[in-house]
Amino acid sequence: MGGCLNRDGSVWTFWLNWDGSLDENMERRVVITGLGAITPIGNNVNETWNGIENKKCGIDDITLFDTTNFKTKLAAEIKEYNPLEYFEQKQVKRLDRCCQLAIIAAREAVKDSGITDENTNYERVGIFVSSGIGGLNTIQEQCKILTEKGNNRVSPMFIPNSIANMPAGNVAIEFGFKGESMSILTACSSATHSIGEAYKTIKQGYEDVIIAGGTEAAICESGIAGFENMKALSSSIDKNRASIPFDKERNGFVMGEGSGMLILEDLEHAKKRNAKIYAEIIGFGATTDAYHITSPCPEGEQGAKAMIRAMEDAKIRPEDIDYINAHGTSTHLNDSTETMAIKAALGEKSKKVMVSSTKGNTGHLLGAAGAIEAIICVKAMQKQIVPPTINYIKKDEECDLDIVPNEPRKEKIDVVMSNSLGFGGHNGSIILRKYE
C-alpha cells in the first residue's frame, strides 16, 4: 500500500502491484457532473439537445464573410451571437472568437456542476481544453494588417489571441483553476483526446476535477479556402443535402463552429459534495494510422483498434454497447472507412448496434466535435433517446450499418461509444455508461 498527501491536507491511499504499477482495482471512478455548450443548433446544452430531438439542421448560408468568390456557400454558424452579451468590450478585443466560445461553454458547465472554491480545492482542478486550429480569425486579420499596413501595426495581442493553447489558458483565468492545464492538438480528434486524457488523469489520482472539451471558430476566408481547395468541403447549396453522413450522395463536410465542455470528476469527490452525476466514463482508446496526412487507413484498422482499446479499458464486450456516435463527417472516405472500422471492432454486434452521426445537425466542429458529441451522448442516455442521422435519403451499400435514419428512437441506452478521427491519422474513442 502507498499513500500521498493531497494539497488540501487529505490523504490519498493507493495499492501498488509487485512491479510498482498502480493496482487497477483501486483506480478511481470518473463521472461527469457538468455540461456546457454553444453550438449551431443551440446556445446552451438544453437548446442543443432539443435541436437533436427535433431534427434541427444548423447549416445555412455563410454570413461571417462575403462568399462571392467561393464555391462553398454553407456553414454551421452560431446563431444570433453577440459577444457583448457575454463579455465587456475590452474583453471582446482581447479574446479570439474561439476563446470566447470556450469561456461561454465553460461558464455553463461549471455552473451546472455546482463546483465552488468552498467545496473543491482549485489547485486540484485541471483544464484540458483543445482547439484543432486555434485563433484563425486573429491570424487572418493580423496577417492582412501586416501586408497592407506594415509590421508596426500588428497587434501585440496577435500571438496571445491566436495560439491554440489560449482557450485552456483563458478558461483557467476565468475561474482560477490551478491544476494541470493542457491543449491536445490532434485535429478533429482534439476534444475526444482531451476528454480521454482527463479521464486517465483523474482515474490515476493526479487531479480531482478536470474541465475537458474543445472549441473551434474557423469559419473565415482562410479556413474555408484551405479546406475548399483540399476538396474536403461539400459543394452543395441545399442546406438539407450538404452534411449528409453515410448517404451515397455525400460530397464533403460542412464547417461548423462552437464549443463543448464537460466537468469530469472523481466519483468520491462528487459524492462528498452531493453533486448530480450525469454519466460515468469507463473507457478510452487511441491509436495512430501512420498512413497519410489526411486520408484514413483504407480499411480503418487503426480506428478499429482505438475502439477495441476503449472496450478493453472499460472491461466490456461489443455486445454491451448500445449506441455509437460516429465521427461520420459526410466525406466518402471517412464514412466508408469508419463503417469498416466499426465492423472490425464489434464483429457480429455491428449488425445490431445503433450508429448515427449528429454532424447533419451541427456540421463538423473540427477540434470541438468530440466534446459536443460526448455531451449529446450523455443527454441521449439521460433521455433514453437515440439521436438520428438527419437528411438521409440515398442508401450507400458501403455504409450498411443501422444509422438510425431521420427519426430519433426511444430505446434503452446504457453504454455508448463516441468516435473521433483526425487528420494526421489520429483516432480516439471514449465509452460512457449511464450512472445508477
Q: How many structural domains is the chain composed of?
A: 1
For 104-145, how does the pLDDT look when each residue is reduced to its tens digit (9 = 90+)?
Answer: 999 999 999 999 999 999 999 999 999 999 999 999 999 999
Question: Considering the domain boundaries, does residue 413 fall inside one?
Answer: yes
For 326-355, how does the pLDDT look when each residue is reduced to its tens digit (9 = 90+)?
Answer: 999 999 999 999 999 999 999 999 999 999
pLDDT in the model for residue 17: 47
Annotated catalytic, 327?
Answer: yes
CB 104 within 8 A of CB 96: no
Give the integer Cα–Cα distance in Å for 18 and 22. Answer: 9
Question: Considering the domain boundaries, does residue 5 fall inside one?
Answer: no
Number of other residues whose CB lies within 10 A of the CB of residue 397: 7
Question: Considering the domain boundaries, does residue 402 fall inside one?
Answer: yes
Question: Considering the domain boundaries, does residue 1 fall inside one?
Answer: no
Annotated catalytic, 426?
Answer: no
* Cβ-based burial of 8 (10 A; exposed 0-12, middle 13-18, buried ≥19): exposed
Q: Which residues contact 173 (CB under 8 A, 6 or more apart)?
A: none
Q: Which residue is catalytic, options 57, 220, 269, 364?
A: 364
Annotated catalytic, 193?
Answer: no
What does residue 390 show for φ and ψ, rounded to 5 degrees? -85, 165
CATH code assigned at 240: 3.40.47.10
Strands 181-182 and 125-130: parallel
Question: Considering the domain boundaries, does residue 285 fall inside one?
Answer: yes
Question: Considering the domain boundaries, does residue 357 fall inside one?
Answer: yes
| Least confident stretch, 16-25, 156-165, 426-435 | 16-25
pTM higher than 0.85 for the full model? yes
For 199-249, how does the pLDDT look when each residue is reduced to its tens digit (9 = 90+)?
Answer: 999 999 999 999 999 999 999 999 999 999 999 999 999 999 999 999 999
For 7-61, how does the pLDDT look when each residue is reduced to its tens digit (9 = 90+)?
Answer: 455 444 454 444 555 554 578 999 999 999 999 999 999 999 999 999 999 999 9
Q: Which residue is catalytic, options 193, 269, 327, 426?
A: 327
> What is the residue range of 316's domain?
11-18+24-434
- The conformational region for residue 141 under phi > 0 = left, psi -120 to 50 = alpha, else beta, is alpha
Q: Which residue is catalytic, options 57, 188, 297, 377?
A: 188
β-bridge partners, 402: 354
